[in-house]
Amino acid sequence: MRYNQLGNTGVLVSELCLGTMTFGGRGFWETIGKVPQEEVNQLVKTAIDGGINFIDTANAYSEGLSETMLGKSLKDLGINRQQLVIATKVRIRMGPGTNQVGLSRLHIMDSVNDSLKRMGLSHIDLLYIHGVDPLTPLEETMRGLEDVVRSGKVRYIGISNHPAWMVTKANAIAERNGWTKFSAGQYYYSLASRDIEREIIPMAQAENIGIMPWSPLAGGFLSGKYTRQQEKAGDSRRDEFDFPPIDKVKAYDIIDVMLAIARSHEVSAAQVALAWMLKKPGVSSIIIGAKKMEQLNDNLASTQLELTDAEMEQLDAISALTPEYPAWMVERQMRDRFPQ
């Protein structure tokens, strides 16, 4: 296991991060996973034993139950709190109240207090804003985040599912006021969907923001269970919850290449997908989730897989983005930038 900087901070996080979306399985999240407490403890222990020091949850996962189960797991296992970097999130609705949602200063403060209580912790290492709230001015959100940082309840802040322009604007607001800037960005990124390479990753590199990809296996579609001949895996959440959206025709072509490379290394297709992402610029830590111990162990093994330059080129070529404006114009105009 290698360790990378959390953005422009001095904190080091493991290149794989344990995601907890499968913990509990309450309400909407039931289709994603219903891992009970005993198995949660086993997954957390295996992850830590495998070198993971970074755990990601969210207040909305299983309506708060994921945070509760994570906190109990740390207590049951007797984990030294200072060994871990724990991240959670705020934005999604957490109750019927008019203001129990969004990124207002009020909801940020309430959510942080509630998350700390559920997890039984004194502070959150990394707090992400989970998505865009068009009703709340960015100035108010950044002030609310600064308040919880200065209170000592949050150490660092991150951003998720926001367009690049909003991230740079928010960081500019923070810099102008002497407030905390974003250190991490959590975005959907996979071999089947490289959209963030257009604007998000270049922005993150310019802003010193570490990219933490979520759903690196495209909701299980790149696990190797899905092929043109087998459109239903039978034991995957993708069968019932077809998310995140992907171009499946293109994804099957990618899977063909992945499976060939996997056979040559005698590993799973999932390991190939993760190993590819571990070598991509800007990626600090990949969020992996598991319902079963064998899934977690297989994901952990991806850190030992070294893809060749030729294999990386194969995967890059089959999954390449279609050029979009203004990128194709920039490339075209660069042709005469240097003297012939």
Residues serving a catalytic function are 61
Query: Is the preceding omega at residue 326 within 30 degrees of 0, hence cis?
Result: yes
**Separation CA 39–CA 99 (nearest Å):** 35
CB 209 within 8 A of CB 168: no
Q: Which token pair is 220? A: 């299980």
CB 94 within 8 A of CB 64: yes
